[in-house]
Structure 1
Amino acid sequence: MHFQDRWKLIIDELNHDRVTSVDELTAKLGASPATIRRDLNELHELGHLLRVRGGAMRIEGAHIGLKVTSDDRRNSLTGQAPFFESVIHYAPAKKAIARAALDLLKPGMSMIIDGGTTTYMLASIMPNDSYNVLTTSIPILQSLLDRTRIRVTLPGGELFREQRIILNPYEDGMLQNFAAQRMFIGAQAITPNGLMQTDTLLVQSERRLIERAQQVVVLADSSKINAPASLSVCPLTEIDILITDSGLSTRDKLWLEDAGIDVRVVDILAEDQ
């Protein structure tokens, strides 16, 4: 069973007034206890359920694939899917990309991890080491809470609930004093015009973050290459490294490398499925 289907079944089995145990879910879904525990931990970090000792409980209104209402869209970004929907799309590729990005981490490193689902995958598997992380992402913040050796900075601004990120349209004094060795960033698309997004506020925020980093590392699955998007965050010449999956075509790899980008292609392993 693919993990997306397993997650949906787990949510459906939970109750808001009692704990559904790992043993119950194991018997119901036919998965191993280790798999169920991992699923519960990931769903808890994503805000889909409440993880408690021995199992989990339902959060009222939690449902994977829940339709977005007009009220929700008032606090959303243009052209950006809700975080909970995006995180399960191309998830095996995102996990493989995140695993490869671990090679770029060094103890003591100061870094920016921008909001997004592939960057979230990286944060979720980072070791508990002496990193200094600035992030705009609530799920990334939640995933790092128990890793006490990692220092986390969260800039101020407005919360966009669907995408689970905080953006500030104004100059931020804290940000101006933060210097990162690397910035890990996702993308709505990567085209010959550069790293692309669909919302002007998101573009403004990411441009300011890029200015604070010595090196820009883009984590993007191959579906993002030449995908539709209208606003440029930065030209290709400002991207140092792109980590993507083996779905990248030879033609696309050539024009990316011609722009001076170190393109790293990773294979999707069985453990990513």
Structure 2
Amino acid sequence: MLESERHQLILTTLSEQDYTSVRALCEQVDASEATVRRDLTQLEREGKIKRKRGGAEISASERTKQLLQRRNGGFLLGLGRNIPEKRQLAKRAVEMCEDGESIIINGGSSTYMMGEFLKDRNLSILTNSYYLALDLIENSDNQITLPGGEVYRKQGVVLSPFENDTIPFYHASKMFMGTPGIGNCGVMESDPLLIRAEHKLRKQAEKLIVLADSSKLGKRSNFIFEPLENIDVLITDSRAKESDIKLFERSGIEVVLVDCNVPNQ
């Protein structure tokens, strides 16, 4: 077995349980203890695992990546960049929610990561993210509502062609969404079909909260979802340029910065 194949098999194995011993990994990859220990050293150096006495556990960001890789390769493409930053944005977004609150979560890689931090909460959640809904149904006691419609596998979202689905009957205090870019023109989106669905969701929420890591600031995409003045809160990371922060604050947006140097636990 090639080294790259062993590494992938080790990561897959670790993602399925909290801890795995070196002995068990040796059996799984059919390699010597010395070889597996070298593999673990390399994977730890890359930040993908954490060594523990007699074995190892996977890092939180790598666990999320492995989960999505198993579920949907296309959706993984959006997740593969800036995972630690996105995870911290998701954590901060969930901290803004109170138990018992009704919220809306739009599909996307950043918002999908909110699921990790929602598992011990008690909220009413409307989401068009098929993968987030599945994760929360399996692993939490939150009340989950999905709009009727067709599942678009590449984006991992449910889109409804009908005006009278469940969405108009749902009221939320907050809507959380990601974006391919946010700047002078506003919050961007890449697909007009997604924009139509997102506007339906936006009408049902009092506040719009955008999650965008610093690499998205100043970026443009094909379509404008909302102008800056319609955004209530932007959650981004501490690598954001001061000029970008001032631009958003001048538009009346509350900018929340998270520390992008926080290690994954």
Q: 8 Å contact 2:209–2:234 — kept in the other structure?
A: yes
Which of the pair has more CA radius of gyration? 2
Residue 214 (structure 1) aligns with: 206
User: What secondary structure is seen at the aligned counterpart in 1 of 2:166?
Assistant: helix
The unaligned stretches of length 5 or more in structure 1 are: 1-5, 16-20, 50-61, 65-81
Segment of structure 1 superposing worse, 125-134 or 200-209: 125-134
Q: How many residues align structurally?
A: 234
The answer for unaligned runs of 5 or more in structure 2 is 14-18, 27-32, 41-48
Q: Secondary structure at the match of 2:90?
A: helix
Q: Distance in 1 between matches of 2:263 and 2:124?
A: 29
State the Cα deviation string for residues 213-272 of structure 1 (Å, max 9, x = none): 001110111111121212111111111100001121111111100110000111123423
1:10 partnered with 2:13: no
Residue 169 of structure 1 and its aligned partner are, at CA, apart by 3.2
Alpha-carbon separation, structure 2, partners of 1:215 and 1:186: 14
SS at match of 2:57: helix
Alpha-carbon distance in 1 for matches of 2:247, 2:5: 38
TM-score, L = length of structure 2: 0.78
Counterpart pick for 2:138 among 143, 146, 149: 146
Distance 1:113 1:43 in 2: 20
Whole-Å separation in 1 of the counterparts to 2:194 and 2:112: 17
1:254–1:152 CA distance, 2 compared to 1 (3 A): same
Give the equivalent residue in structure 2 for 1:123: 115
Between the aligned partners of 2:6 and 2:198, the Cα distance in structure 1 is 32
Q: Which residue of 2 aligns with 1:72?
A: none
* AA at the equivalent of 1:265: L
For 2:57, the equivalent position in structure 1 comes to 35
- Supply the distance in 2 between the matched residues of 1:249 and 1:38 (Cα, whole angstroms): 27
What is the letter of the counterpart of residue 112 of structure 1?
I
Aligned to 1:268: 260
Confirm whether residue 135 of structure 1 aligns to residue 127 of structure 2: yes
Q: In the aligned structure 1, how far is the partner of 2:152 from the partner of 2:146?
A: 14
Provide the C-alpha distance between the structure 1 equivalents of 2:161 and 2:75, rounded to a whole number of angstroms. 21
The one-letter amino acid paired with 2:85 is A
TM-score by length of 1: 0.76
The 8 Å contact of residues 232 and 254 in structure 2, kept in 1 or not, is answered as yes
Indicate yes or no: 2:119 matched with 1:100. no
Distance in 1 (CA, whole Å) between partners of 2:202 and 2:25 is 43
What is the correspondence of 1:106-255 to structure 2 with a 5 Å cutoff?
106-255=98-247
- What SS does the corresponding residue of 2:263 show, helix, strand or coil? helix
Q: Which has the higher helix share?
A: 2
The residue type paired with residue 237 of structure 1 is: E
Instruction: Point out the more displaced range, 112-121 or 148-157.
Output: 148-157
Shift in alpha-carbon separation, 1:259–1:148, aligned structure 2, 3 A: same
Shift of the 178–145 alpha-carbon distance from structure 1 to 2, 3 Å rule, reads same
Give the Cα–Cα distance (whole angstroms) in 1 for the partners of residues 151 and 77 of structure 2: 18
> Please, what is the CA RMSD of the aligned residues?
2.9
SS at match of 2:104: strand
User: Is residue 46 of structure 1 aligned with residue 68 of structure 2?
Assistant: yes
Q: Which 4+ residue blocks in structure 1 deviate beyond 6 angstroms?
A: 12-15
Superposed CA offset, 1:14-54 (max 9, x none): 69xxxxx93344863414356238578635642517xxxxx
Q: CA deviation at 1:138?
A: 1.8
CA distance in 1, matches of 2:81, 2:5: 13
Which secondary structure state, in structure 2, belongs to the residue aligned with residue 271 of structure 1?
A: coil
Distance 1:206 1:177 in 2: 15
In the alignment, does 2:249 pair up with 1:257? yes
Identity of aligned residues (%): 30
In the aligned structure 2, how far is the partner of 1:223 from the partner of 1:128? 30
Q: 1:178 to 1:206 in 2, by over 3 A?
A: same
Alignment counterpart, residue 22 of structure 1, candidates 12, 20, 28: 20
